[in-house]
Amino acid sequence: MVYYGDEEFGYKRVRERKRPENIDYSQPAKSVERALETLMATCARSERCISDIRRSLYRWRMRTEDYEPIIRRLVEERFVDEERYARLYVRDKANCSGWGKRKIELGLKAKGIPADIIAAALQEMEPDRQAEQLETLLYRRKLREEGKAKSAYELRTRLFRWAAGRGYDFSEIDDVLGRILSDTYEPDETLTRY
């Protein structure tokens, strides 16, 4: 046991962590064949991009000269496909997470996906569905924020910031907020509070 402070004064005893003593951090954690098998199984379960693969290889302390043969093999056997990954990422983040175009684009850029693949994947987004989703999200957020905001201006600002953080365009946000905050707005019957 390791004591932090004195027990008299109410300090807690904390158990010391046991650390494995025989790990050689200068050697890779996995062999090339074992890493390839693991990555094939991982990619078969869920979609991955090349930057995810590189991150896994780095975490396993693989040598950098082993990265390219492993990645090349995964791409040749279609375990990794950047276009397929980008399309699924766009669909998932737009439909499930409620993200706008800008945030999705930045997320794909952070993953190292080429700009032409990002543009092609973003073309598959349906603008009408995005507008409906933004209206739904902003209406629900409005119901939550109404009690917190002290004025109509503050409510509009809070909603605007929230939607911009979700990656929606300013013109889209302005249009939807104009409708939602008007006195004549009637929400769709499918819109519920939460």
Asked if the structure places residue 155 within a domain, the reply is yes
Looking at residue 1, its pLDDT comes to 47
Asked if the structure places residue 11 within a domain, the reply is no
Looking at residue 184, its pLDDT comes to 79
Q: What does the pLDDT look like over 73-87, one tens digit per residue?
A: 999 999 999 999 999
For residue 58, give its domain range.
32-76
Asked if the structure places residue 27 within a domain, the reply is no
Asked if the structure places residue 10 within a domain, the reply is no
Asked if the structure places residue 41 within a domain, the reply is yes
State whether 151 and 179 are in the same domain.
yes
Asked if the structure places residue 21 within a domain, the reply is no
State whether 71 and 44 are in the same domain.
yes
Asked if the structure places residue 3 within a domain, the reply is no
Asked if the structure places residue 132 within a domain, the reply is no
Distant-in-sequence, close-in-space partners of 66: CB < 8 Å, separation ≥ 6? 28, 32, 35, 57
State whether 142 and 193 are in the same domain.
yes
pLDDT grade, residue 154 (50/70/90)? very high
Domain count, the chain: 3
Q: What does the pLDDT look like over 86-112, one tens digit per residue?
A: 999 999 999 999 999 999 999 999 999
Distant-in-sequence, close-in-space partners of 11: CB < 8 Å, separation ≥ 6? 3, 4, 5
Q: How many CB atoms lie within 10 A of CB 139?
A: 19
